[in-house]
Amino acid sequence: MADLAVWPTDGADGSVSSEARWRKMARLWVPSGVDVSPLGVGGAGALAPTLVAGPTINVAIGGCWLDGHYAELTTPASVPATANGLLVVRFTPADNHAELLFRDAAVLPPTQTAVTWELAIASMAAGALTDRRMRNGSPPTFPNYATLKALYPTAPDGFQAVTLDDGRTYTFRAAAFTYTPPGVAAPANRWETIVMASFSKSTDASGLINVTAADLGVDGIIHGTGHAGWDASAPPARNFGTFVRWTAATNLQFCSWKISATSAGTLTLNTSVALNVTAHALCWRI
């Protein structure tokens, strides 16, 4: 029989409290990130960065979790910046210190080790500020995919995150995987997401519409379905249908057809016309 260390307990070794033990537990309670909960300091605007002349970055009050530790800024702060660099909350356990710090010329991701743990708040590039706050929660949220990817070039398999600009939920998949044909072999270390999108595209002379990965704002398409529907000039009694097939890692092909208005029951291709297209696809980004 092999014994395990266990804490907290009322007696024995588990009754000994330490910062290191707390950190091991608390980092599992909630991911590192800005606390935007309704009862948190600053609420939804916690630690919000604003660029003013100087350049200087003004930071609103707020709290954040730092690898199992909690830190609060209870008074708004102003931090001198440069045209390029990274604003972080840095925690150093050795001296029990957390501070807002601008790192000149630094880029994402920030330093995150047991000795120095940094949480990105904003980045500067050519004098322009980008909000880089990761909001903690389950799953954590990020301003956009670029920030998610920069902060997590790789993540634990199955890790999920939400991007605020488009409302998508991403799941990190560490291993490559070949989906059931006609699906595609998806690469390792990808972020998978389900995309629903609607837009207008025109059929060609064969009644075909190609919906690309670029149309969906992703790098690849695993599987998909959808519909190429009514055109603006079609009589209400004219029925449209669509077949969808996956043709490449970056393409879904829609074939649009209609019931002839002049010959009831006859199917004809819906050629050279702008249609409202709705696509629903399992996609990936790297």
Q: Which residues pair with 279 in a beta bridge?
A: 197, 226
Q: pLDDT tens digit string along 23-67? A: 999 988 888 999 998 888 999 899 999 999 999 999 999 999 999
How is the chain split into domains, by residue range?
A: 16-154, 177-285
Instruction: Report the half-sphere exposure of 98 (CA within 13 A, side-chain side).
Output: 16
The CATH code for residues 16-154 is 2.60.520
pLDDT at 100 over 90: yes
Query: 96 pLDDT band (50/70/90 cuts)?
Result: very high
Neighbours of 85 (CB within 10 A): 19
* Identity of the residue numbered 155: A
**What is the spatial distance between Cα 60 and Cα 41, in angstroms, rounded to a whole number?**
10
Report which of 182, 195, 197 is spatially closest to residue 245, judged by C-alpha positions.
182
pLDDT at 214 over 90: yes
Q: What is the pLDDT of residue 160?
A: 94
Q: What is the pLDDT of residue 264?
A: 59
Q: pLDDT tens digit string along 127-170? A: 999 999 999 877 899 999 999 999 988 888 999 999 999 999 99
Answer for the pair 91, 66: CB distance below 8 angstroms, yes or no.
yes
Q: What is the pLDDT of residue 142?
A: 94
**What is the spatial distance between Cα 276 and Cα 281, in angstroms, rounded to a whole number?**
16
Residue 8 φ then ψ, to 5°: -80, 150
Q: What is the pLDDT of residue 237?
A: 44
Average pLDDT of the chain, as a whole number:
89
Q: pLDDT tens digit string along 61-93? A: 999 999 999 999 999 999 999 999 999 999 999
Report which of 232, 222, 280 is spatially closest to residue 254, judged by C-alpha positions.
280
- Compute CA distances 243 → 135, 227, 283, whole Å: 41, 8, 19
Report which of 286, 283, 274 is spatially closest to residue 251, judged by C-alpha positions.
283
Neighbours of 283 (CB within 10 A): 25
